[in-house]
Amino acid sequence: MLELSSGQYFTVYNVLSFTIASMFGAFIFFLGARSQVGEKYRPALLISAVVVAIAGYHYFRIFDSWTHAYALADGGIYKATGAVFNDAYRYVDWLLTVPLLLIELVAVLALAKSDREGLFGKLAIAAFLMIALGYPGEIASDMTTRAIWGALSTVPFVYILYILWGKLGKAMDAQTPQVRVLLRNIRLLLIATWGFYPITYMLPMFGIPPQSSVVGIQVGYAISDVLAKAFYGVMIYWIARAKSEADGSLPAGSAH
């Protein structure tokens, strides 16, 4: 049975709580901020709100699962209780939120109908495959199985990045300089945070102690989720705001 030091146990505990707070704070912000952007961009913010609400719910569950999986034992260490720490919450969360994150981005671009054709469907299917293929590896105990499913999951991941790169690049040409900078930044954030997930996934393969790998996985996924959902949503808001300003659709009297 795995034993964690008090510091290791509480690092995960506090990072999970931080994530819950971030998601619910972001939820309130996205919901309220809809009235601060033009009508055309409000669906993107609404989807941002849905994403962080779903993630906040799952982090409540993950937090609970964590506190039941370990218990304080003699000497101030935390011992595995035998109750399973449920990794599936993350995958269920991603199954719902990752397609929505992609739709959020496409929505804020407010592409013409002809450019959007089939885009949602292609991205949603690829996102689904990416997550579904990762899961068998996540719960596998041997590293070869983990590596094989991880590699399979990378195929749709690369496909998504390829499609988005092209679409974002194309969309960027038509924007004001301010919006272009924001789109460039969100593209970087997307690459950086989405690229962080596979690194976290691979942690157990690096031959580090199992304790460090348990803690590292939880902290890595949580920080990635905060950046890829809450902070990403804030960037979507900035883009929506800048585009509203550019096309004159800001609510009357709200420009500075």
Interface with a copy of itself (CB under 8 A): 6, 10, 13-14, 17-18, 20-22, 24-25, 28-29, 31-36, 38-40, 42-43, 46-47, 49-50, 53-54, 57-58, 61, 72, 82-84, 86, 88-89, 92-93, 95-96, 110-113, 116, 249, 251-256
For a copy of itself, which is the closer residue by CB, 21 or 189? Answer: 21
For a copy of itself, which is the closer residue by CB, 175 or 249? Answer: 249
For a copy of itself, which is the closer residue by CB, 35 or 199? Answer: 35
CB of 175 to a copy of itself, least distance (A): 15
- Beta strand 78-80 with 3-4 is antiparallel
CB of 256 to a copy of itself, least distance (A): 6
Q: How far is CA 11 from CA 49, 73, 116, in A?
A: 27, 17, 43
**How far is residue 41's CA from residue 233's CA, in Å, rounded to a whole number?**
12
Contact between 199 and 141 under an 8 Å Cβ cutoff? The reply is no
For a copy of itself, which is the closer residue by CB, 217 or 250? Answer: 250
CB of 140 to a copy of itself, least distance (A): 13
**How far is residue 111's CA from residue 108's CA, in Å, rounded to a whole number?**
8
For a copy of itself, which is the closer residue by CB, 151 or 176? Answer: 176
CB of 158 to a copy of itself, least distance (A): 26
Q: Which residues contact 161 (CB under 8 A, 6 or more apart)?
A: 190, 191, 194
CB of 127 to a copy of itself, least distance (A): 15
The count of C-alpha atoms lying within 13 angstroms of the C-alpha of 165, restricted to the half-sphere facing its C-beta, is 8
3-class state of residue 131 by DSSP: helix
